[in-house]
Amino acid sequence: MSKILLKGGSIVSPRGVKRADILINGEKIVAVGRNLSAEAQTVDVGGKLIFPGFIDAHTHFDLEVSDTVTADDFDSGTKSAIAGGVTTVVDFATQNKGETLSDALNNWHIKAFGKSSCDYAFHMAISDWREDIKNELPAMFEQGVTSFKVYMIYDAMELNDRAIYELMKELKKYGGIVGCHCENSGIIGKLREEALARGETQPKHHPLTRPDFTEAEAVNRFLAIAKAADAPCIVVHLSTRLGYQEVLHARDEGVEVYAETCPQYLLLDDSVYDAPFDTASEYVCSPPLRKREDNKALWDALKTNNADTVSTDHCSFTVEQKRAGESDFTKIPNGMPGVETRAILLYTYGVKKHRISLQQMCAYLSENPARLYGMYPKKGVIKAGSDADLVIFEPRGHGKITADRCHSRCGYTPFEGVKTVGGVEQVYLRGKLVYRGGEIVLEHSGKYVTRDHFDL
């Protein structure tokens, strides 16, 4: 029987929480309503919250970077995802210098195909802006890639302001959108050089050489470019109060800017960098962890609906890989895991602490990313016709995050020992149960999702 009837759950959407049954036929939701009956396998979900499958629109699986490759590929990364209720990831197909966008997209299809336990889509990260790349953009849209990422920092990836402006103008023609990693490369490069010359080589020097104003300046410049191009844009992994103020200011000036933040910028601060190397290096990511006042400003952004999505920037490395920077913090591969712990953290420290509502949690994890990245209403909503991607969430009970229960291959979680409330109990991916009670029950059934234009 391919029909499933989920009975008695409370369905969460950005508009409210309501009791209703859900009828699934094959891969799709076919009905949502009170007292549904059907010849179907009936599952009692009384007392549970039901969310549209979560979307993590910022992961880096199987990424070659810093002379190594991320600990999680699409096998372990997407297992980690479904254990965290994530039914779709949007990873970054990344163009290396000299490559075409088709090369990059093909590479990422090869990395993900047959290995993914959740559905997946790709942004295109552009590192080499050339005339032939411009001509490739229509082909990207035809293949379902409608969002692009640029970096204002990292030698291998950095684009200058002119290239970002040209890209934005070009993407406007097709209804595409650009997300940007905003950090001022010139100042940070010099601060790092000066720190190393003074013998300051430890992880604690990582945040000191990437001060908050270097993010804010880059956000300001990126948004000035967007204004000049009259194009919509996204500030990804926003980490500072100052950067957030730039977003608000640009909106006042009429710029169509969307903002993404991540749990690490909401919940952790730079005091972790004082720990011994193996612990401190786990938290080395860019932008770095900030101050408590920054955490507070970003929670405020979520509370007031001034941020749009919470993603993870899952980019994991083992402690062994991090040791490449034991005597020079600039050589520590940047990034941390997060795809598995995002929802429980947002529930425990957002909803249960009254910083955001359940409805907002649903907007930030499901509906907004689906809309912003052109997957709505196939994804991100529980209604007839949508993919039956569902998270059955137990709102009660207490637990603790520990690495030994996580599926990432990096061997640690930045949230080790953190107390939690509730948890992801079951996950359906296009009508199939893929996760139940701590176990992955169906692996590698993820499919590529072609995306349309953004609509948020």
Contact 267, 295 (CB under 8 A): yes
Question: Quick one: which of 260, 313, 367, 389 contacts Zn ion (CB under 5 A)?
Answer: 313
Closest CB to Zn ion: residue number: 181
CA distance 426 to 85: 8
CA distances (Å), 315 to each of 65, 70, 187, 238, 250, in order? Answer: 10, 6, 24, 16, 29
What is the contact mask toward ligand URP in residues 213 to 252, using x (rule: CB under 6 A)?
----------------------------------------
Number of H helices, E strands in the chain: 15, 21
Q: What is the DSSP letter of 348?
A: I
Question: Quick one: which of 313, 367, 387, 389 contacts ligand URP (CB under 6 A)?
Answer: 313
Cα-flanking dihedrals φ and ψ of residue 39, to 5°?
-75, 95
Which tokens in the block code for residue 383?
A: 């209604």
Closest residue by Cα to residue 414 from 207, 265, 236, 204 = 265
Mark the segment that binds Zn ion (CB under 5 A) among 118-126, 176-184, 196-204, 258-266.
176-184
The answer to whether residue 315 forms part of the interface with ligand URP (CB under 6 A) is yes
In terms of CB distance, is 177 or 285 closer to ligand URP?
285
* Position 455, amino acid: D
The answer to whether residue 314 forms part of the interface with ligand URP (CB under 6 A) is no
Q: Which helix (H) or strand (E) holds 292?
A: helix 292-303
CA distance 191 to 211: 10
In terms of CB distance, is 237 or 451 closer to Zn ion?
237
| Min separation Cβ 168 and ligand URP, Å | 19
CA distance 240 to 296: 10
Q: Is 406 helix (H, G, I), strand (E, B) or coil?
A: coil
Closest residue by Cα to residue 374 from 81, 55, 84, 100 = 55
What is the contact mask toward ligand URP in residues 323 to 342, using x (rule: CB under 6 A)?
-----------xx-------
| Min separation Cβ 315 and Zn ion, Å | 6
What is the contact mask toward ligand URP in residues 142 to 181, using x (rule: CB under 6 A)?
---------------------------------------x
Mark the segment that binds Zn ion (CB under 5 A) among 177-185, 399-407, 410-418, 428-436.
177-185
CA distance 391 to 82: 9
In terms of CB distance, is 294 or 313 closer to Zn ion?
313
Which of the listed partners (Zn ion, ligand URP, none) does 285 bind, with a CB threshold of 5 to 8 Å by partner kind? ligand URP
Question: Quick one: which of 181, 204, 371, 378 contacts Zn ion (CB under 5 A)?
Answer: 181
Q: Give residues in contact with Zn ion (CB under 5 A).
A: 181, 313
Q: Give residues in contact with ligand URP (CB under 6 A).
A: 60, 181, 285-286, 313, 315, 334-335
